[in-house]
Amino acid sequence: MAIPARDMQVGCRVSYQLRHLDTGTLVRTYDKEGAALAFMRDVIRLGGRDAASRFALTYADEHGNAHAIAEGEALMRRALEDRAEA
């Protein structure tokens, strides 16, 4: 289930992580969700929807616990709808 950005606690130190769905390999870590979504828009533009559908976005809370935000098609929609600054 995707987590709306507004439901995440403000002021807590979190990191956003993009991973390959197939392998679970960490691709990149970001301080802001908007930066991760900007990367996903680049993947969609340069690699196509098939390549972009193979990613998952999670966030790690201040205790290091990972939480799913979105993956696959839902992550692509989230990236394409995002208008926040990276």
Tell me which residue range forms the domain holding 35: 20-81
Average pLDDT for 21-35: 95
Please report, as a single letter, which amino acid is at residue 22. D
Whether the per-residue pLDDT at 1 is higher than 70: the answer is: no
Whether the per-residue pLDDT at 3 is higher than 60: the answer is: no
Residue 8 in domain: no
| Percent of the chain clearing pLDDT 90 (strictly above) | 72
> What are the tokens at 48?
């196509």
pTM: 0.79
The pLDDT of residue 13: 74
pLDDT digits (tens, 9 = 90+) for 51-71: 999 999 999 998 889 999 999
Whether the per-residue pLDDT at 86 is higher than 70: the answer is: no
> Residues 6, 35, 82, 70: what is their CA dihedral angle, to the nearest 10 degrees?
-70
Residue 65 in domain: yes
Give the Cα separation of 12 and 27 in Å (integer): 23
Residue 37 in domain: yes
